[in-house]
Structure 1
Amino acid sequence: MSEPAEPTPAAEVPHTNGHAPPQPTILLIHGLWMTGLCWEHWISFFASHGYTAIAPSWPGFGDRTPAEIRADPKALRGLTIHAVIEHYVNIIESLPSPPIIMGHSFGGLFTQILLSKGYGVAGVGISPAQPSGVVILKPSTIKASFGVLGNPFTYNKAVPFTESQFHYAFGNALDKKESKVLWERYSVHAAAHVLWQGALGLLGGGDGAVDWKKADRAPLLLVAGTNDHVVPREVVEAEKERSMLGRRSSS
Protein backbone atom coordinates (compact mmCIF):
# COMPACT_ATOMS: atom_id res chain seq x y z
CA MET A 1 0.00 0.00 0.00
CA SER A 2 1.27 3.48 -0.82
CA GLU A 3 1.23 6.29 1.70
CA PRO A 4 -2.17 8.03 2.15
CA ALA A 5 -2.74 11.53 0.82
CA GLU A 6 -3.20 14.48 3.16
CA PRO A 7 -6.93 14.71 3.96
CA THR A 8 -9.15 17.77 3.71
CA PRO A 9 -9.44 19.26 7.23
CA ALA A 10 -12.52 17.91 8.98
CA ALA A 11 -15.06 19.96 10.88
CA GLU A 12 -14.26 20.56 14.53
CA VAL A 13 -15.36 17.69 16.74
CA PRO A 14 -17.87 18.72 19.43
CA HIS A 15 -16.48 18.77 22.95
CA THR A 16 -18.04 17.14 25.97
CA ASN A 17 -17.28 18.54 29.44
CA GLY A 18 -14.33 20.40 27.98
CA HIS A 19 -12.84 17.29 26.37
CA ALA A 20 -13.10 16.00 22.82
CA PRO A 21 -14.76 12.58 22.64
CA PRO A 22 -12.27 9.80 21.91
CA GLN A 23 -11.65 9.07 18.26
CA PRO A 24 -12.69 5.58 17.15
CA THR A 25 -9.93 3.11 16.45
CA ILE A 26 -9.22 2.56 12.76
CA LEU A 27 -9.09 -1.15 11.91
CA LEU A 28 -7.05 -1.73 8.75
CA ILE A 29 -7.61 -5.01 6.88
CA HIS A 30 -5.15 -6.13 4.23
CA GLY A 31 -5.94 -8.15 1.14
CA LEU A 32 -4.61 -11.24 -0.57
CA TRP A 33 -0.82 -11.64 -0.95
CA MET A 34 -0.19 -9.23 1.95
CA THR A 35 0.04 -9.01 5.74
CA GLY A 36 -0.82 -6.20 8.13
CA LEU A 37 2.69 -4.82 7.61
CA CYS A 38 1.54 -3.23 4.34
CA TRP A 39 -0.29 -0.59 6.40
CA GLU A 40 2.79 0.55 8.36
CA HIS A 41 2.93 4.05 6.84
CA TRP A 42 -0.83 4.48 7.17
CA ILE A 43 -0.62 3.70 10.89
CA SER A 44 2.00 6.43 11.34
CA PHE A 45 -0.06 8.84 9.25
CA PHE A 46 -3.23 8.31 11.26
CA ALA A 47 -1.28 8.57 14.53
CA SER A 48 -0.02 11.99 13.44
CA HIS A 49 -3.66 13.05 13.14
CA GLY A 50 -4.74 11.77 16.55
CA TYR A 51 -6.07 8.34 15.60
CA THR A 52 -5.10 4.92 16.83
CA ALA A 53 -4.87 2.54 13.89
CA ILE A 54 -4.30 -1.20 14.11
CA ALA A 55 -3.58 -3.66 11.32
CA PRO A 56 -3.83 -7.24 12.58
CA SER A 57 -3.08 -9.83 9.91
CA TRP A 58 -5.39 -12.63 8.82
CA PRO A 59 -5.73 -15.67 11.12
CA GLY A 60 -2.71 -17.95 11.21
CA PHE A 61 -0.27 -15.22 10.26
CA GLY A 62 0.50 -14.23 13.84
CA ASP A 63 3.23 -11.64 14.19
CA ARG A 64 5.51 -13.32 11.66
CA THR A 65 7.25 -11.27 9.01
CA PRO A 66 6.41 -11.77 5.33
CA ALA A 67 9.78 -13.48 4.86
CA GLU A 68 8.94 -15.94 7.65
CA ILE A 69 5.50 -16.62 6.16
CA ARG A 70 6.99 -17.19 2.71
CA ALA A 71 9.36 -19.71 4.27
CA ASP A 72 6.48 -21.54 6.00
CA PRO A 73 3.12 -20.66 4.36
CA LYS A 74 1.09 -23.63 5.57
CA ALA A 75 -1.20 -21.38 7.70
CA LEU A 76 -2.65 -20.05 4.45
CA ARG A 77 -3.74 -23.47 3.20
CA GLY A 78 -7.51 -23.92 3.28
CA LEU A 79 -8.10 -20.51 4.88
CA THR A 80 -11.70 -19.38 4.26
CA ILE A 81 -13.51 -16.07 4.05
CA HIS A 82 -15.66 -17.15 7.00
CA ALA A 83 -12.57 -17.77 9.15
CA VAL A 84 -11.12 -14.38 8.26
CA ILE A 85 -14.39 -12.58 9.03
CA GLU A 86 -14.75 -14.34 12.40
CA HIS A 87 -11.15 -13.39 13.20
CA TYR A 88 -11.91 -9.71 12.68
CA VAL A 89 -15.25 -9.94 14.50
CA ASN A 90 -13.37 -11.17 17.57
CA ILE A 91 -10.91 -8.28 17.26
CA ILE A 92 -13.71 -5.72 16.87
CA GLU A 93 -15.59 -7.07 19.87
CA SER A 94 -12.44 -6.71 21.99
CA LEU A 95 -12.19 -2.98 21.24
CA PRO A 96 -13.63 -0.39 23.66
CA SER A 97 -15.93 1.05 20.97
CA PRO A 98 -16.90 0.27 17.36
CA PRO A 99 -14.06 1.11 14.95
CA ILE A 100 -13.78 2.69 11.55
CA ILE A 101 -13.07 -0.28 9.28
CA MET A 102 -10.83 0.25 6.28
CA GLY A 103 -9.76 -2.47 3.88
CA HIS A 104 -7.90 -2.91 0.60
CA SER A 105 -8.78 -5.47 -2.11
CA PHE A 106 -10.18 -8.53 -0.28
CA GLY A 107 -9.88 -6.43 2.86
CA GLY A 108 -12.32 -4.02 1.22
CA LEU A 109 -14.74 -6.90 0.64
CA PHE A 110 -14.35 -7.94 4.28
CA THR A 111 -15.08 -4.34 5.29
CA GLN A 112 -18.39 -4.46 3.42
CA ILE A 113 -19.31 -7.81 4.94
CA LEU A 114 -18.51 -6.60 8.46
CA LEU A 115 -20.59 -3.44 7.99
CA SER A 116 -23.52 -5.49 6.73
CA LYS A 117 -23.26 -7.60 9.90
CA GLY A 118 -23.59 -4.46 12.04
CA TYR A 119 -19.94 -3.88 12.92
CA GLY A 120 -18.14 -0.55 12.66
CA VAL A 121 -19.19 3.11 12.72
CA ALA A 122 -18.01 3.68 9.14
CA GLY A 123 -16.18 1.77 6.43
CA VAL A 124 -13.75 2.50 3.62
CA GLY A 125 -13.09 0.07 0.79
CA ILE A 126 -9.97 0.82 -1.25
CA SER A 127 -10.18 -0.97 -4.61
CA PRO A 128 -12.35 -3.58 -2.86
CA ALA A 129 -12.81 -7.07 -4.26
CA GLN A 130 -16.40 -7.42 -5.37
CA PRO A 131 -19.02 -9.08 -3.18
CA SER A 132 -21.11 -11.99 -4.40
CA GLY A 133 -23.59 -10.92 -7.04
CA VAL A 134 -21.45 -8.15 -8.55
CA VAL A 135 -20.80 -9.88 -11.85
CA ILE A 136 -18.08 -7.97 -13.64
CA LEU A 137 -14.65 -9.34 -14.48
CA LYS A 138 -11.96 -7.42 -16.34
CA PRO A 139 -9.06 -8.99 -18.30
CA SER A 140 -6.48 -7.39 -16.00
CA THR A 141 -8.14 -9.01 -12.97
CA ILE A 142 -7.97 -12.42 -14.64
CA LYS A 143 -4.30 -11.91 -15.49
CA ALA A 144 -3.44 -10.72 -11.97
CA SER A 145 -5.08 -13.77 -10.36
CA PHE A 146 -4.21 -16.36 -13.00
CA GLY A 147 -1.41 -17.82 -10.88
CA VAL A 148 -4.17 -19.19 -8.64
CA LEU A 149 -7.33 -19.42 -10.75
CA GLY A 150 -5.47 -20.80 -13.76
CA ASN A 151 -4.88 -24.07 -11.89
CA PRO A 152 -7.82 -25.82 -10.13
CA PHE A 153 -5.37 -27.87 -8.06
CA THR A 154 -4.52 -24.72 -6.08
CA TYR A 155 -7.97 -24.71 -4.43
CA ASN A 156 -6.74 -25.30 -0.86
CA LYS A 157 -3.09 -24.38 -1.30
CA ALA A 158 -0.78 -21.50 -0.48
CA VAL A 159 0.41 -20.24 -3.86
CA PRO A 160 3.67 -18.29 -4.30
CA PHE A 161 3.53 -14.76 -5.67
CA THR A 162 6.45 -14.12 -7.99
CA GLU A 163 8.26 -10.83 -8.42
CA SER A 164 6.82 -10.36 -11.91
CA GLN A 165 3.29 -11.19 -10.73
CA PHE A 166 3.61 -8.65 -7.94
CA HIS A 167 4.85 -6.02 -10.38
CA TYR A 168 1.79 -6.50 -12.59
CA ALA A 169 -0.73 -6.72 -9.76
CA PHE A 170 0.54 -4.13 -7.27
CA GLY A 171 3.64 -2.41 -8.62
CA ASN A 172 2.38 -1.49 -12.09
CA ALA A 173 2.79 2.24 -11.39
CA LEU A 174 6.45 1.67 -10.41
CA ASP A 175 9.54 0.57 -12.26
CA LYS A 176 10.70 -3.02 -11.66
CA LYS A 177 13.42 -2.01 -9.21
CA GLU A 178 11.00 -0.07 -6.99
CA SER A 179 8.43 -2.86 -7.23
CA LYS A 180 11.00 -5.48 -6.18
CA VAL A 181 11.72 -3.60 -2.95
CA LEU A 182 8.02 -3.70 -2.02
CA TRP A 183 7.65 -7.33 -3.13
CA GLU A 184 10.47 -8.37 -0.80
CA ARG A 185 9.11 -6.39 2.14
CA TYR A 186 5.37 -7.07 1.92
CA SER A 187 4.37 -10.02 -0.25
CA VAL A 188 3.37 -13.49 0.89
CA HIS A 189 1.80 -16.53 -0.74
CA ALA A 190 -1.85 -16.40 -1.75
CA ALA A 191 -4.45 -18.08 0.47
CA ALA A 192 -5.89 -19.63 -2.67
CA HIS A 193 -9.15 -20.87 -1.13
CA VAL A 194 -10.17 -17.28 -0.33
CA LEU A 195 -9.62 -16.25 -3.95
CA TRP A 196 -11.51 -19.28 -5.25
CA GLN A 197 -14.42 -18.48 -2.94
CA GLY A 198 -14.50 -14.93 -4.26
CA ALA A 199 -14.43 -16.06 -7.90
CA LEU A 200 -16.97 -18.88 -7.53
CA GLY A 201 -19.32 -16.63 -5.56
CA LEU A 202 -19.59 -13.92 -8.21
CA LEU A 203 -23.00 -15.18 -9.33
CA GLY A 204 -24.34 -14.81 -5.78
CA GLY A 205 -24.35 -16.40 -2.33
CA GLY A 206 -21.53 -17.89 -0.34
CA ASP A 207 -19.24 -16.37 2.28
CA GLY A 208 -18.56 -13.34 0.07
CA ALA A 209 -22.16 -12.12 0.22
CA VAL A 210 -23.09 -8.69 1.59
CA ASP A 211 -26.47 -7.85 3.12
CA TRP A 212 -27.16 -4.90 0.84
CA LYS A 213 -30.60 -4.25 2.36
CA LYS A 214 -29.47 -3.77 5.96
CA ALA A 215 -31.20 -0.49 6.77
CA ASP A 216 -28.90 0.61 9.60
CA ARG A 217 -25.62 -0.29 7.91
CA ALA A 218 -22.85 2.20 8.70
CA PRO A 219 -21.80 4.62 5.94
CA LEU A 220 -19.37 3.26 3.35
CA LEU A 221 -16.84 5.06 1.17
CA LEU A 222 -15.54 3.20 -1.89
CA VAL A 223 -12.25 4.31 -3.45
CA ALA A 224 -11.11 3.25 -6.93
CA GLY A 225 -7.65 3.33 -8.47
CA THR A 226 -7.43 4.68 -12.01
CA ASN A 227 -4.79 2.16 -13.11
CA ASP A 228 -5.55 -0.69 -10.71
CA HIS A 229 -4.97 -4.06 -12.40
CA VAL A 230 -6.53 -6.24 -9.68
CA VAL A 231 -9.76 -4.30 -9.04
CA PRO A 232 -10.22 -1.81 -11.90
CA ARG A 233 -12.35 1.29 -11.49
CA GLU A 234 -15.27 -0.28 -13.41
CA VAL A 235 -15.54 -3.00 -10.77
CA VAL A 236 -15.70 -0.46 -7.94
CA GLU A 237 -18.33 1.52 -9.85
CA ALA A 238 -20.42 -1.66 -10.13
CA GLU A 239 -20.07 -2.22 -6.39
CA LYS A 240 -21.20 1.35 -5.73
CA GLU A 241 -24.30 0.90 -7.90
CA ARG A 242 -25.17 -2.38 -6.19
CA SER A 243 -24.73 -0.84 -2.75
CA MET A 244 -26.88 2.18 -3.63
CA LEU A 245 -29.58 -0.06 -5.08
CA GLY A 246 -29.64 -2.00 -1.84
CA ARG A 247 -29.95 1.23 0.14
CA ARG A 248 -32.89 2.39 -1.95
CA SER A 249 -34.70 -0.94 -1.69
CA SER A 250 -34.33 -0.95 2.11
CA SER A 251 -35.75 2.53 2.58
Structure 2
Amino acid sequence: MAENRPVVFIHGLWLHATSWEPWIEKFRAAGYDPVAPGWPNEAETVEGARANPDAVADIGIDEAAAHFAEVANRLGDETILIGHSFGGLIAEKLLGEGVGAGAVAIDPAQIKGVLPLPLSQLRSGFPALGNPANLHKAVSLTKPQFRYGFGNAVSEEESDALYERWTIPSPARPLFQAAAANFQMHSPAAVDTQRHPRGPLLLISGTADHTVPDVVTRSTLKQYRDAMTVNELEQFEGRGHSLTIDGGWGEVADAVLAWLTAQGL
Protein backbone atom coordinates (compact mmCIF):
# COMPACT_ATOMS: atom_id res chain seq x y z
CA MET A 1 0.00 0.00 0.00
CA ALA A 2 1.17 3.50 -0.81
CA GLU A 3 0.01 4.87 2.58
CA ASN A 4 0.38 8.51 1.58
CA ARG A 5 3.97 8.03 0.42
CA PRO A 6 5.20 11.28 -1.18
CA VAL A 7 5.81 11.39 -4.93
CA VAL A 8 7.63 14.22 -6.71
CA PHE A 9 6.90 14.53 -10.42
CA ILE A 10 9.64 16.29 -12.40
CA HIS A 11 8.87 17.53 -15.89
CA GLY A 12 11.38 18.07 -18.66
CA LEU A 13 11.96 20.87 -21.11
CA TRP A 14 9.10 22.52 -23.01
CA LEU A 15 6.31 21.17 -20.81
CA HIS A 16 4.76 22.92 -17.83
CA ALA A 17 4.50 21.31 -14.40
CA THR A 18 0.71 21.22 -14.70
CA SER A 19 1.09 18.65 -17.48
CA TRP A 20 1.34 16.12 -14.63
CA GLU A 21 -2.20 16.89 -13.40
CA PRO A 22 -3.76 13.61 -14.66
CA TRP A 23 -0.93 11.66 -13.02
CA ILE A 24 -1.44 13.58 -9.78
CA GLU A 25 -5.09 12.54 -9.70
CA LYS A 26 -4.35 8.89 -10.51
CA PHE A 27 -1.56 8.60 -7.92
CA ARG A 28 -3.64 10.32 -5.25
CA ALA A 29 -6.46 7.86 -5.93
CA ALA A 30 -3.93 5.04 -5.51
CA GLY A 31 -3.01 6.31 -2.04
CA TYR A 32 0.08 8.38 -2.75
CA ASP A 33 0.69 12.00 -1.81
CA PRO A 34 1.96 13.50 -5.10
CA VAL A 35 3.28 16.96 -5.98
CA ALA A 36 4.51 18.41 -9.28
CA PRO A 37 6.62 21.50 -8.64
CA GLY A 38 7.91 23.58 -11.53
CA TRP A 39 11.54 24.22 -12.33
CA PRO A 40 13.23 27.16 -10.57
CA ASN A 41 11.50 30.45 -11.42
CA GLU A 42 8.80 28.71 -13.47
CA ALA A 43 5.47 30.51 -13.40
CA GLU A 44 2.51 28.72 -11.87
CA THR A 45 0.56 28.66 -15.12
CA VAL A 46 1.30 27.91 -18.75
CA GLU A 47 0.20 31.41 -19.68
CA GLY A 48 2.48 32.97 -17.07
CA ALA A 49 5.46 30.94 -18.25
CA ARG A 50 4.88 31.96 -21.85
CA ALA A 51 4.60 35.61 -20.88
CA ASN A 52 7.97 35.68 -19.07
CA PRO A 53 10.45 33.30 -20.73
CA ASP A 54 13.48 35.14 -19.36
CA ALA A 55 12.60 33.98 -15.84
CA VAL A 56 13.95 30.49 -16.58
CA ALA A 57 16.78 31.46 -18.91
CA ASP A 58 20.16 29.97 -17.96
CA ILE A 59 18.77 27.43 -15.49
CA GLY A 60 21.02 24.38 -15.74
CA ILE A 61 20.89 20.77 -14.61
CA ASP A 62 22.57 21.42 -11.25
CA GLU A 63 20.25 24.30 -10.36
CA ALA A 64 17.19 22.24 -11.25
CA ALA A 65 18.49 19.17 -9.41
CA ALA A 66 19.17 21.18 -6.24
CA HIS A 67 15.68 22.64 -6.44
CA PHE A 68 13.98 19.24 -6.68
CA ALA A 69 16.31 17.71 -4.07
CA GLU A 70 15.14 20.37 -1.63
CA VAL A 71 11.52 19.49 -2.37
CA ALA A 72 12.11 15.75 -2.00
CA ASN A 73 14.18 16.03 1.18
CA ARG A 74 11.54 18.22 2.75
CA LEU A 75 8.96 15.50 2.10
CA GLY A 76 11.14 12.79 3.65
CA ASP A 77 13.26 9.73 2.87
CA GLU A 78 10.29 7.72 1.57
CA THR A 79 9.75 10.07 -1.37
CA ILE A 80 9.52 8.58 -4.87
CA LEU A 81 10.93 10.53 -7.81
CA ILE A 82 9.23 10.31 -11.21
CA GLY A 83 10.68 12.32 -14.07
CA HIS A 84 10.18 12.70 -17.80
CA SER A 85 12.90 13.66 -20.27
CA PHE A 86 15.32 16.01 -18.45
CA GLY A 87 13.15 15.38 -15.42
CA GLY A 88 14.10 11.72 -15.78
CA LEU A 89 17.79 12.61 -15.83
CA ILE A 90 17.26 14.67 -12.68
CA ALA A 91 15.45 11.76 -11.00
CA GLU A 92 18.39 9.48 -11.81
CA LYS A 93 20.89 12.08 -10.61
CA LEU A 94 19.10 12.58 -7.29
CA LEU A 95 18.68 8.85 -6.68
CA GLY A 96 22.43 8.51 -7.23
CA GLU A 97 22.95 11.16 -4.58
CA GLY A 98 20.87 9.27 -2.04
CA VAL A 99 17.72 11.36 -2.45
CA GLY A 100 14.45 9.44 -2.48
CA ALA A 101 13.43 5.83 -1.92
CA GLY A 102 13.16 4.97 -5.61
CA ALA A 103 12.85 6.57 -9.02
CA VAL A 104 11.18 6.23 -12.39
CA ALA A 105 12.85 7.91 -15.38
CA ILE A 106 10.57 8.14 -18.43
CA ASP A 107 12.34 8.78 -21.73
CA PRO A 108 15.22 10.25 -19.70
CA ALA A 109 17.68 12.67 -21.26
CA GLN A 110 21.05 11.01 -21.76
CA ILE A 111 23.42 10.94 -18.82
CA LYS A 112 27.21 11.09 -19.09
CA GLY A 113 28.56 7.84 -20.51
CA VAL A 114 25.70 7.26 -22.94
CA LEU A 115 27.23 7.31 -26.42
CA PRO A 116 24.50 6.78 -29.05
CA LEU A 117 23.43 10.04 -30.70
CA PRO A 118 20.74 9.24 -33.30
CA LEU A 119 19.93 11.77 -36.01
CA SER A 120 16.36 12.13 -34.72
CA GLN A 121 17.73 13.22 -31.35
CA LEU A 122 19.98 15.80 -32.99
CA ARG A 123 17.05 17.15 -34.99
CA SER A 124 14.84 17.31 -31.88
CA GLY A 125 17.46 19.31 -30.00
CA PHE A 126 18.30 21.60 -32.92
CA PRO A 127 15.85 24.40 -31.96
CA ALA A 128 18.13 25.04 -28.97
CA LEU A 129 21.49 23.58 -29.97
CA GLY A 130 21.42 25.04 -33.48
CA ASN A 131 22.46 28.45 -32.18
CA PRO A 132 25.30 28.70 -29.60
CA ALA A 133 23.84 32.05 -28.49
CA ASN A 134 20.91 30.12 -27.00
CA LEU A 135 23.09 28.80 -24.17
CA HIS A 136 21.91 31.47 -21.74
CA LYS A 137 18.41 31.88 -23.18
CA ALA A 138 15.00 30.30 -22.92
CA VAL A 139 13.80 28.76 -26.16
CA SER A 140 10.31 27.93 -27.43
CA LEU A 141 9.31 25.21 -29.86
CA THR A 142 7.19 25.87 -32.91
CA LYS A 143 4.19 23.65 -33.53
CA PRO A 144 6.04 21.64 -36.25
CA GLN A 145 9.08 21.24 -33.98
CA PHE A 146 6.86 19.91 -31.20
CA ARG A 147 5.20 17.59 -33.68
CA TYR A 148 8.57 16.09 -34.60
CA GLY A 149 10.08 15.93 -31.11
CA PHE A 150 7.03 15.02 -29.04
CA GLY A 151 3.94 14.27 -31.10
CA ASN A 152 5.25 12.12 -33.94
CA ALA A 153 3.44 9.00 -32.70
CA VAL A 154 0.00 10.62 -32.37
CA SER A 155 -2.23 12.38 -34.87
CA GLU A 156 -1.35 15.87 -35.97
CA GLU A 157 -4.58 17.08 -34.41
CA GLU A 158 -3.67 15.61 -31.01
CA SER A 159 -0.09 16.86 -31.25
CA ASP A 160 -1.30 20.39 -31.97
CA ALA A 161 -3.74 20.24 -29.05
CA LEU A 162 -0.98 19.10 -26.67
CA TYR A 163 1.24 21.89 -27.95
CA GLU A 164 -1.40 24.52 -27.25
CA ARG A 165 -2.21 23.16 -23.82
CA TRP A 166 1.15 22.39 -22.24
CA THR A 167 4.18 23.88 -24.00
CA ILE A 168 6.28 26.65 -22.47
CA PRO A 169 9.68 28.26 -23.17
CA SER A 170 12.50 26.34 -21.50
CA PRO A 171 16.18 26.96 -20.77
CA ALA A 172 18.50 25.70 -23.49
CA ARG A 173 21.41 25.27 -21.10
CA PRO A 174 20.56 21.67 -20.01
CA LEU A 175 20.66 20.56 -23.66
CA PHE A 176 24.12 22.07 -24.13
CA GLN A 177 25.28 20.44 -20.88
CA ALA A 178 24.03 17.00 -21.90
CA ALA A 179 25.53 17.36 -25.39
CA ALA A 180 28.97 18.12 -23.92
CA ALA A 181 28.77 15.62 -21.04
CA ASN A 182 31.15 13.04 -22.47
CA PHE A 183 33.81 15.68 -23.09
CA GLN A 184 33.83 17.09 -19.54
CA MET A 185 35.37 15.56 -16.46
CA HIS A 186 32.81 17.11 -14.12
CA SER A 187 29.60 17.25 -16.11
CA PRO A 188 26.25 18.22 -14.53
CA ALA A 189 24.81 15.28 -16.52
CA ALA A 190 26.96 12.78 -14.61
CA VAL A 191 25.05 10.25 -12.49
CA ASP A 192 26.40 7.92 -9.82
CA THR A 193 25.05 4.71 -11.33
CA GLN A 194 26.93 2.47 -8.87
CA ARG A 195 25.71 3.94 -5.59
CA HIS A 196 24.89 1.24 -3.04
CA PRO A 197 22.66 1.00 -1.20
CA ARG A 198 19.96 3.01 -2.92
CA GLY A 199 16.41 2.55 -4.02
CA PRO A 200 15.25 0.81 -7.21
CA LEU A 201 15.14 2.50 -10.61
CA LEU A 202 12.78 1.97 -13.52
CA LEU A 203 13.63 3.33 -16.96
CA ILE A 204 10.81 3.70 -19.48
CA SER A 205 11.19 4.27 -23.21
CA GLY A 206 8.89 4.77 -26.15
CA THR A 207 10.18 2.89 -29.15
CA ALA A 208 9.09 5.67 -31.54
CA ASP A 209 10.58 8.50 -29.47
CA HIS A 210 12.53 11.03 -31.54
CA THR A 211 13.80 13.20 -28.68
CA VAL A 212 15.18 10.35 -26.53
CA PRO A 213 15.26 7.36 -28.85
CA ASP A 214 14.86 3.87 -27.39
CA VAL A 215 18.52 3.07 -28.14
CA VAL A 216 19.55 5.92 -25.85
CA THR A 217 17.46 4.60 -22.96
CA ARG A 218 18.77 1.08 -23.51
CA SER A 219 22.29 2.48 -23.43
CA THR A 220 21.43 4.28 -20.19
CA LEU A 221 20.42 0.97 -18.63
CA LYS A 222 23.84 -0.43 -19.55
CA GLN A 223 25.44 2.26 -17.38
CA TYR A 224 23.86 0.46 -14.41
CA ARG A 225 24.97 -3.05 -15.41
CA ASP A 226 27.41 -3.42 -12.51
CA ALA A 227 25.16 -1.79 -9.92
CA MET A 228 24.08 -3.92 -6.96
CA THR A 229 20.56 -2.52 -7.08
CA VAL A 230 17.31 -3.03 -8.95
CA ASN A 231 17.50 -1.33 -12.37
CA GLU A 232 14.88 -2.23 -14.96
CA LEU A 233 13.62 -1.09 -18.36
CA GLU A 234 10.07 -1.13 -19.70
CA GLN A 235 9.49 -0.31 -23.36
CA PHE A 236 6.27 1.00 -24.88
CA GLU A 237 5.94 -0.02 -28.49
CA GLY A 238 5.18 2.75 -30.96
CA ARG A 239 5.06 5.50 -28.35
CA GLY A 240 6.76 8.87 -28.73
CA HIS A 241 8.08 11.52 -26.36
CA SER A 242 4.53 12.66 -25.59
CA LEU A 243 3.74 9.37 -23.84
CA THR A 244 3.22 11.09 -20.45
CA ILE A 245 0.66 13.57 -21.78
CA ASP A 246 -1.04 12.06 -24.84
CA GLY A 247 -4.13 9.87 -24.93
CA GLY A 248 -2.15 6.80 -23.86
CA TRP A 249 -0.68 8.34 -20.70
CA GLY A 250 -2.83 6.16 -18.46
CA GLU A 251 -1.19 2.97 -19.71
CA VAL A 252 2.22 4.33 -18.76
CA ALA A 253 1.00 5.54 -15.37
CA ASP A 254 -0.57 2.15 -14.64
CA ALA A 255 2.72 0.44 -15.49
CA VAL A 256 4.56 2.76 -13.11
CA LEU A 257 2.07 2.07 -10.32
CA ALA A 258 2.37 -1.68 -10.89
CA TRP A 259 6.17 -1.48 -10.75
CA LEU A 260 6.11 0.59 -7.57
CA THR A 261 3.82 -1.99 -5.96
CA ALA A 262 6.14 -4.82 -7.03
CA GLN A 263 9.05 -2.96 -5.41
CA GLY A 264 7.16 -2.42 -2.17
CA LEU A 265 6.94 1.29 -2.83
Specify the TM-score bucket, using the shorter chain as the normaliser. 0.7 to 0.9
TM-score normalised to structure 2 length: 0.82
2:14 counterpart residue number: 33
Q: Which of 180, 190, 205 in structure 2 is aligned with 1:209?
A: 190
Distance in 1, Cα, partners of 2:109 & 2:76: 29
Q: Per-residue deviation at 1:247?
A: 4.0
Root-mean-square deviation (CA, aligned residues, Å) is: 1.5
1:185-244, Cα deviation, whole Å (9 max, x unpaired): 110113111111111113453111111221112110111101111111111110001112
- Gapped runs of 5+ residues in structure 2? 230-265
1:73 counterpart residue number: 53
Greater Rg by CA: 1
Q: Which of 102, 106, 109 in structure 1 is aligned with 2:82?
A: 102
1:129 counterpart residue number: 109
Distance in 1, Cα, partners of 2:96 & 2:122: 27
Is the Cα–Cα contact under 8 Å of residues 135 and 203 in structure 1 kept in the other structure? no
Distance in 2, Cα, partners of 1:103 & 1:188: 17
1:178 counterpart residue number: 158
Aligned length: 228
Q: Per-residue deviation at 1:51?
A: 1.4
Q: Per-residue deviation at 1:245?
A: 2.8
TM-score normalised to structure 1 length: 0.86
Distance in 2, Cα, partners of 1:33 & 1:162: 11
Instruction: Give aligned-pair identity as a percent.
Output: 37
Distance in 1, Cα, partners of 2:122 & 2:67: 28
Q: Which of 219, 223, 226 in structure 2 is aligned with 1:238?
A: 219
Secondary structure of the corresponding residue to residue 104 of structure 2: strand
Runs in 1 of length 4+ with deviation above 4 angstroms?
A: none
Correspondence 1:91 to 2:102 = no
1:18-73, Cα deviation, whole Å (9 max, x unpaired): xxx8342111100011121111111111122111211101000042x122211210
2:257 counterpart residue number: none
Distance in 2, Cα, partners of 1:98 & 1:161: 36
What code does the residue aligned with 1:127 have?
A: D
Q: Which of 127, 130, 142 in structure 1 is aligned with 2:122?
A: 142
